[in-house]
A and B are shown apart, each in its own frame.
Chain A
Amino acid sequence: MAIPINLPVVQPGTQARKGNFARRPEDAPENLRERTLELGAKGEWVVHRVPEPCVEVPTRSNGIKRVPLQHTWHHKSCGQCGHIPGYSTSIFWLHRKLGLEYNDPRDQTSCTAWNYYASATSNQAAQAAVAMRNFAAAYETGYFPQIHCATSYGHYKEVRAEMVHHKELREQVRGILAKMGKPLVMPEEIVHYSEWVYAVRHEIAKRKVLDLSQITVTVHPACHYYKLVQEDAIYDPDVYGGQRTAVVTAVAQALGATVGDYSTWFDCCGFGFRHILVQRDFSRSFAVQRKIEAMRDEVNPDVTLTHDTGCVTTLDKSQFAAQAHQGVKAAIPVLSEAQFAALGMGAHPYRVCQLHWHAADYRPLLEKMGIDWRERWREFEDDVERLKANPGSFLTWEDADGEWAVPAAHPDHVKHGGR
């Protein structure tokens, strides 16, 4: 039996008061965007500027971050594309439905940070060179990096800080990139996809085709999004009074769902990097006992939403084994907020959101959302039979929409889509 935790939590519907907690200028944290621009002006590197149109969003340090709406270079995630592919597919689908152009490159490697945090079989220069190679590749296309994985995002912000602070590291990485004919390029902002979803959340809400008012969600904020190099994560005074990151929660609220709070929101998911691959007893125990059980006991949500590869993987995949333990209550479906938003906008649960790759039972959620999952699965099985009969053929974006097509928006509609 779980030990009751009597910690204050924010009750659904509570209106957070907006306090004024601005830091004194002398206490302001270092502004790495400004340092990036300064080094660009000194010729240390090329600064890849955020393309217009962009949305200005609020950050933890009461600053402004510029999030580009389109012309984005999608830095994909290993775990998303490999094991929960509906995560990536939903991000692309949202761009398409909002009429925002993007580039899905093959000239992209992993950030390799999952391996780095798991095994340490790398070093500072290698990690920085991998990041800067990807940034240079994006710059060559003219498209601005949008990073799908929170670990890539957090690690790249670590790399940016190290490159800003250490000239000798810049020189070492410059030398490595020169051998492949690439310049040093640093993006003006490091942008996570969930910041883009936050920036366009009202446009998504306008295109919603399902009533989500009966859906209660819990949110797991990803550690590497808001704990690593923290100052430019999005914090919004209208969400948790500006005391927690607003991404994911603001999106769920904009879609009309109820966000339930729980006492272990700050805990990590239990991914552990090395643990999730070769020591999963830890990951499973932590995910179920510290996260899933707390959510179930305190909120009993229809779904938990998060915004990172490792978090969806750990929280979703860890629940099956826990059911073998007597008395362990489990089975909360786990989705990214991109998948949840796509479903709300009418995306096909299998062709687009690829929910058949998920382990925790999501079907009760779909039923509550008003989605006929049996009929949608039948359609998907028809697709599969057609593909089997035609080796070398693929499901297209046109196939994915079918009769579920939602009218595309013009970019002008989302120019002012931020708060």
Chain B
Amino acid sequence: MTERAQLASQVPDSEKERLFNEVKADLRFGDYLYGCYECGICVAVCPSARFYDFSPRRIAQAVAREDVELVWEQMNGEVWECSQCFSCLLCPRGNNPGGIITIMREVAVKNGLHSAQQALEGYTRIIYKIMSTGTQVSPDMIRPEAFPDWGPTAKETADNLEVWRRAMPPDTMHTTSASWEVDDKTLTELYLIWHLSGVLDMIKALDESLHMILVDVMEEKLEEAGYPLS
């Protein structure tokens, strides 16, 4: 028995049904799925299908047929292989398989599924970066040990980072720890969005340590700005 099959056998059907219903209850679900012709166009144009045992058609079919068991399996594995390029929007039925996958991933994160935690191992520093600085990547992330496959420019960039950032004309881009300078007030408003929209709760389900660090970063600024957190 595979590890996933073993895990599947330990999860009650009612729990799988609950997660499936959470996917279906999403406001976007009705705009993303209209059935499936089973034509395979989405697979033909899918980059991930060329490299992984992955099929956007299988996802659309499983969800359309309400195959709760298969949806649970997909939510615990192959959804993380999707490239989110949305080539599958060529679907003649008008489906959005990439969008369905986005919802399935969200449900996996929100419910703290172990498979989501595994898929995002090594990625949490990026979550910290985007949520705390308001930009997804920063110049100081370019380190030769982090990007050895980018060739000698990674080392050259890292070695000259501070002065190379000053050697560009736009004032907003003289930064090394964020993509551009974001105002404090702007960041505080972003933190408020994370608080009010339930995103911090999702982070807590995914990674409690990351949640603690983010709360620590955000609370002080929000309180200073006079936003009540309760």
Which of B85, B119, B130 is within 8 Å of A110, CB to CB? B130
CB distance from B188 to the nearest CB of A (A): 8
Chain B hits for A278, CB < 8 A: 121-123
CB distance from A63 to the nearest CB of B (A): 19
* Cβ-based interface call for A41 (8 A): no
Asked whether any CB of chain B lies closer than 8 Å to the CB of A338, the reply is no
Give the complex CA separation of A350 and B206 in angstroms: 42
- Beta-carbon contact of A317 and B147 below 8 Å: yes
In this assembly, does A378 line the interface, its C-beta being within 8 Å of a C-beta of chain B? no
Write the chain A residue with the least CB distance to B82.
A272
Known: A106-B183, A110-B179, A387-B167. A176 touches B137 (CB 8 A): no
Contact with A along B156-174 (1 / 0, CB 8 A): 1100100110111111111
B136–A383 touching, CB < 8 Å: no
**Shortest distance between the CB of B222 and any CB in chain A (Å):** 11
Stretch at the interface among A43-51, A236-244, A352-360, A403-411: A352-360
| Most chain B beta carbons < 10 A, residue from A267, A268, A397 | A268
Whether, in the assembled complex, A388 has its beta carbon less than 8 Å from a beta carbon of chain B, the answer is yes
Chain A window 58-73, contacts with chain B (Cβ cutoff 8 Å), 1 for yes, 0 for no: 0000000000000000
In the complex, what residues of A have CB within 8 A of residue B198's CB? 123, 125-126
Cβ of B6 to closest chain A Cβ, rounded Å? 25
Q: Which of A359, A393, A394 contacts B153 (CB 8 A)?
A: A359
Interface centre among A121, A169, A223, by most B CB within 10 Å? A121
Chain A residues lying within 8 Å of B48, measured Cβ to Cβ, are 272, 282
- A80-88, A204-212, A369-377 - interface stretch: A80-88
| Residues from 167 to 211 in B contacting A, C-beta threshold 8 Å | 167-174, 178-183, 185-187, 189-190, 192-194, 196-199, 202-203, 206
B142: Cβ under 8 A from any A Cβ: yes
Q: Which residues of A contact B80 (CB under 8 A)?
A: 274
Across-interface contacts of A354 in B (CB, < 8 A)? 168
The answer, yes or no, to whether B13 is at the interface (CB within 8 Å) is no
Instruction: Name the A residues within 8 Å of B166 (CB-CB).
Output: 387, 393-395
A182 nearest CB neighbor, chain B only? B189
CA distance in complex: A369, B38 (Å): 49
B56 interface hit (Cβ, 8 Å): no
Q: By the criterion CB–CB under 8 Å, are B169 and A271 in contact?
A: no
Q: Which of B86, B147, B164, B186 contacts A106 (CB 8 A)?
A: B186
Contact of A120 among B109, B126, B142 (CB under 8 A): B109
A residues 151-167 with Cβ under 8 Å of B? 154, 161-162, 165-166
Docked-complex contact A126 and B172, CB < 8 angstroms: no
Cα distance A166–B198 in the bound complex, in angstroms: 19
| Contact A133 to B173, CB < 8 A, known contacts A272-B84, A317-B150 | no
On chain B, the residues within 8 Å of A284 by CB distance are 149
The answer to whether residues A119 and B123 also contact, given A110-B130, A130-B190 and a CB cut-off of 8 A, is yes
Q: Which residues on B are within 8 Å of A, measured CB to CB?
A: 26-28, 31, 45, 47-48, 50-52, 80, 83-87, 89-90, 102, 105-106, 108-110, 116, 119-123, 126-127, 130-131, 134-139, 141-142, 147, 149-151, 153-154, 156-157, 160, 163-164, 166-174, 178-183, 185-187, 189-190, 192-194, 196-199, 202-203, 206, 227
* Known A119-B105, A121-B199; further 18 A-B contacts with Cβ < 8 A: A82-B136, A93-B169, A106-B172, A106-B180, A108-B182, A109-B187, A117-B102, A120-B102, A122-B197, A126-B193, A126-B197, A168-B27, A268-B87, A286-B51, A321-B151, A351-B169, A359-B150, A394-B166
